Amino acid sequence: MSETILSTLQRAAMMLKAAGIEGAERDARILLCHVLEIDQGQLQARLKDRLPPSALFGMDRVVAVRSLHQPVSHIVGKRGFWNHEFLVNSDVLDPRPDTETLVAAALEKPFKNVLDLGTGSGAIVLSLLDESPESKAIATDISSRALDVARRNAGRLKLADRVQFIEADWFEGLNGTFDLIVSNPPYIGEAEMPDLAPEVRDWEPHLALSPGGDGLAAYRMLAKSLGEFLAPKGRALFEIGYRQAKEVSEIFTNEGFTDPKVLSDLSGNDRVIVLEGK
């Protein structure tokens, strides 16, 4: 006899808990919605329905993969951020709620052109363009695979005609100035990597997580070239680690950027540094 949706959810949650997965019940629901191609409301209305063998097989497969700590977003292939769901995989960082602090702050002032450095999935720059219909963007990344994901997201959101994706190392090969420059660079220190959750440490691209060493190398590189590309009245917003505000502020101050401002995320942690054009 086949299982009901409710009994399948309960069994899946038990298996995920046994594997040390936090939020096991939540993940079980998301995974079963993915397998059945329905939303959470439909799932709730069908708890007494019995599942066909194909759905049971599919659920067992995704639960087994999740038990290995593969992120749910990689299994279902998408992650919610700002106002949209973005395609994600192991070639890009998952866009996270903390990064929405950067997007919200960037949207406080108008901009005509934006540069996103290390764009990854494109979640930041595409969210900005979606909220600023007259703006255009350039987005760079050193990873061609990450840019493939970003281009797919731009196409899904019908923004491909307003953003140019360039395979480059930070400002490499760029010209001109920008009203707005944004980035969520790698900032995790080498010594911190072993302590990351396995979903992050074992599945997300290390190149986008850590530059090695003290985790500040990307900011040193950005600070050296920022003045050349930031318009006189422009703004630059960079995500930072929650314990890096003092060090990152000093890096940019040493390059002539006075009075850097630090913004907190919804948890009250330092998360974004804001710089004004010289």
What is the predicted pLDDT for the residue at 137? 98
Looking at the structure, tell me whether residues 81 and 62 fall in a common domain.
no
Looking at the structure, tell me whether residues 126 and 249 fall in a common domain.
yes
Looking at the structure, tell me whether residues 63 and 103 fall in a common domain.
no
**How far is residue 216 CA from its own chain's centroid?**
19
CA distance 53 to 67: 21
Looking at the structure, tell me whether residues 58 and 162 fall in a common domain.
no
Question: Which domain covers residue 200, as residue numbers?
Answer: 76-276
User: Taking the alpha carbons of 218, 224, 229, 235 in that order, is the dihedral positive or negative?
Assistant: positive
pLDDT tens readout for residues 219-238: 999 999 999 999 999 999 99
In which region does residue 203 sit, left (phi positive, over 0), alpha (psi from -120 to 50) or beta (all else)?
alpha
Looking at the structure, tell me whether residues 157 and 256 fall in a common domain.
yes
Instruction: Classify residue 84 by its DSSP letter.
Output: E
* Count of beta carbons in the 10 Å neighbourhood of residue 27: 21
Residue where one domain finishes, among candidates 68, 97, 118: 68
Question: How distant, in Å, are the alpha carbons of 33, 58, 178 from that of 205?
Answer: 27, 27, 28
Looking at the structure, tell me whether residues 152 and 32 fall in a common domain.
no
Query: What's the rounded mean pLDDT across residues 27-35?
Result: 96
HEC string for 127-140 = HHHHHCCCCEEEEE
pLDDT tens readout for residues 236-273: 999 999 999 999 999 999 999 989 999 999 999 999 99
Torsions phi, psi for 133 (to 5 deg):
-60, -20
Tokens encoding 116 = 């996103």
Beta strands in 142-226 (DSSP E): 163-167, 178-183
Among residues 125, 122, 15, 102, which one has the least CA distance to residue 64? 15
Residue where one domain finishes, among candidates 23, 47, 68: 68
Assess contact for 8 and 56: CB atoms under 8 A.
yes
Looking at the structure, tell me whether residues 56 and 179 fall in a common domain.
no
Looking at the structure, tell me whether residues 28 and 83 fall in a common domain.
no
What is the predicted pLDDT for the residue at 163? 98
Query: What's the rounded mean pLDDT across residues 78-107?
Result: 96
- Supply the mean pLDDT for the chain: 95
Q: Is the pLDDT of residue 1 over 60?
A: no
Looking at the structure, tell me whether residues 61 and 81 fall in a common domain.
no
Looking at the structure, tell me whether residues 163 and 142 fall in a common domain.
yes
CA distance 162 to 159: 6
pLDDT band at residue 103 using 50, 70 and 90 as cut-offs: very high
**How far is residue 203 CA from its own chain's centroid?**
14
Assess contact for 75 and 12: CB atoms under 8 A.
no
**How far is residue 132 CA from its own chain's centroid?**
20
What is the predicted pLDDT for the residue at 278? 74
Say how many domains are in the chain: 2
Percent of the chain whose pLDDT exceeds 70: 100
Tokens encoding 85 = 């769901």
pLDDT tens readout for residues 126-175: 999 999 999 999 999 999 999 999 999 999 999 999 999 999 999 999 99
Looking at the structure, tell me whether residues 83 and 187 fall in a common domain.
yes
Residue where one domain finishes, among candidates 68, 86, 105: 68
What CATH number does the domain containing 141 carry?
3.40.50.150
Looking at the structure, tell me whether residues 136 and 182 fall in a common domain.
yes
Q: Is the pLDDT of residue 207 over 90?
A: no
